[in-house]
Amino acid sequence: MDSKERAMLALTHQIPDRVPVDYLYNSGIDLRLKNHFGLRPEDDEGLRLKLGVDFRNLGGVPYVGPKLHGDLPGRIIDEWGIHRRWVEHGSGGYWDYCDFVLKDATLDTIAAWPLPSPDDYDYSGVDAFCDQYSRYCIVAGNAGIPDIINASGMVWTMEKVLIAVATDEPAFVTYLDRKLAVLFEIWSRTLEKARGKIDLFYMGEDLGTQIGPMISLKLFRRCFRPRIQTFVDLAKNYHLPVMFHSCGSSSWAFEDFIDMGINVMDTLQPEAKAMDASYLKSTFGSRLAFHGCISTAGPLAFGSVGDTMTHARQVLEIMMPGGGYAFSPSHQIQDNSPTENVVALYEAAARYGVYSHS
């Protein structure tokens, strides 16, 4: 089978030749893996071939419009006005969110706040990307659609976002719906440009902590579900299955997701409450497919090669029966993960993820 056929069979609860495989990463481990395989730092495709990855992600289209927000020393500032600064840690570093420029925003502030125009994105490369990777499962989108909590928290602060969604704070609601209207149009144009060449639409909203829900089901249904549904319906207009990302304990919302037309759940942090692979497979496995469930905070980061392979094999034994599973880390592989463990993880997928068709 080619990768497209393999992934689409698995995600529609059919049996492929082997479990399809995906790769999520931070920059540090990505570079170390390329060094391990003797690849150039820019050879992303070479690394995916080495790891046996079946998905190729058209994460978005580039912004080519005017600069909407001023520069600041030591900051990266994007077209949405999100500020990032470099934060070092023991294994490398990352660009973390900072400044939170709308934390004191009023309705007047929001009315004047610059947002990008859908006209200022370059859609010309969509066709070429899809044609280049036509043998793979092409995923359009990212976990930032609509991402009400996280993405808004990057400019409002997380605390203010959680209060605002609970109270329908007017300035926040105005900002949110302005932003989502732009995102909707960007992705409408992207899917139209790629009509017939995309296999899976990807979106997300982090709804859980490690110990339980971040918001109530009542609040989810009032504030989040209608806005998420708009993007699900967009994908369905193009006859696309939808994969939805949610970190933390999120299975409390899965019945709603199923009702909304979501087909695949992504992330599946096994350490979080009610996110154990056995529970997810037995409770939702006939109605949802799964992408993830390989812990990035367990043996992969802190165990041995043997521990990593055992964890991978256990997840595969639970998730493989009946199809409906794609092998993937539960989130980006962090820079503190030993290179040999990550290599072993993908060796385990190749060794233990094969279906018997005898």
Q: What amino acid occupies position 352?
A: Y
User: pLDDT tens digit string along 292-304?
Assistant: 999 999 999 999 9
State the total domains in the chain: 1
3-state DSSP assignment of residue 297:
coil
**Cα 28–Cα 30–Cα 34 angle in degrees, nearest 5:** 120
pLDDT at 357 over 80: no
Those residues whose C-beta lies under 8 Å from the C-beta of residue 301, and which sit 6 or more positions away, are 334, 336, 337, 338, 341
Instruction: Give which of 131, 126, 133, 228 is closest to 184, Cα–Cα.
Output: 228
Cis peptide before 299 (omega within 30 of 0): no
Predicted pLDDT at 214: 96
Burial of 17 (0-12, 13-18, 19+ CB in 10 A): middle
User: pLDDT tens digit string along 199-234?
Assistant: 999 999 999 999 999 999 999 999 999 999 999 999
Within a domain: residue 358? no
C-beta of residue 332 within 8 angstroms of C-beta of residue 300: no
Reported as a pLDDT band with limits 50, 70 and 90, residue 159 is very high
User: pLDDT tens digit string along 269-290?
Assistant: 999 999 999 999 999 999 999 9
User: pLDDT tens digit string along 27-64?
Assistant: 999 999 999 999 999 999 999 999 999 999 999 999 99
Within a domain: residue 186? yes
Long-range CB contact pairs, 214-221, < 8 A, 24+: 214/149, 214/162, 214/248, 215/149, 215/162, 215/165, 215/166, 217/252, 217/253, 217/256, 219/165, 219/166, 220/253, 220/256, 221/256
Within a domain: residue 219? yes
**Torsion sign across C-alpha atoms 128, 132, 135, 136:** negative
The H or E element spanning position 176 is helix 170-193
Within a domain: residue 152? yes
- Written as six digits, the tokens of 261 are 């037309």
Tell me how far CA of residue 7 lies from CA of 13, 21, 321, in angstroms: 10, 8, 15
Burial of 154 (0-12, 13-18, 19+ CB in 10 A): buried
Reported as a pLDDT band with limits 50, 70 and 90, residue 92 is confident
Within a domain: residue 57? yes
CA 271 to centroid of chain Cα atoms: 18
Predicted pLDDT at 91: 87
Instruction: Give which of 300, 324, 301 is closest to 312, Cα–Cα.
Output: 300
Q: What is the DSSP string of 41-99?
A: TT-HHHHHHHHT--EEEE----B-S---S---TT-EE-TT--EEEEEEETTEEEEEEE-
Burial of 275 (0-12, 13-18, 19+ CB in 10 A): buried
Determine the longest span between alpha carbons in the chain, in angstroms.
67
d(CA 44, CA 208) in angstroms, rounded, equals: 31
Instruction: Give which of 168, 141, 144 is closest to 155, Cα–Cα.
Output: 144
Reported as a pLDDT band with limits 50, 70 and 90, residue 356 is confident
Query: Secondary structure of the chain: what % helix, strand, coil (to 5)?
Result: 45, 20, 40
Tell me how far CA of residue 307 lies from CA of 216, 275, 298, 310, in angstroms: 36, 20, 9, 5
Within a domain: residue 233? yes
> What CATH number is associated with residue 220?
3.20.20.210
Mean pLDDT (the chain) is 97
Q: What amino acid occupies position 248?
A: G
pTM value is 0.97
Which of 90-94, 237-241, 349-353 has the weakest average pLDDT? 90-94
Domain of residue 135 covers 3-352
Tell me how far CA of residue 162 lies from CA of 153, 158, 173, in angstroms: 9, 6, 12
d(CA 156, CA 162) in angstroms, rounded, equals: 10
pLDDT at 358 over 80: no
pLDDT at 107 over 70: yes
Q: What amino acid occupies position 60?
A: G
Q: What is the DSSP string of 264-289?
A: EEEE--TTSTT--HHHHHHHHTTT-E
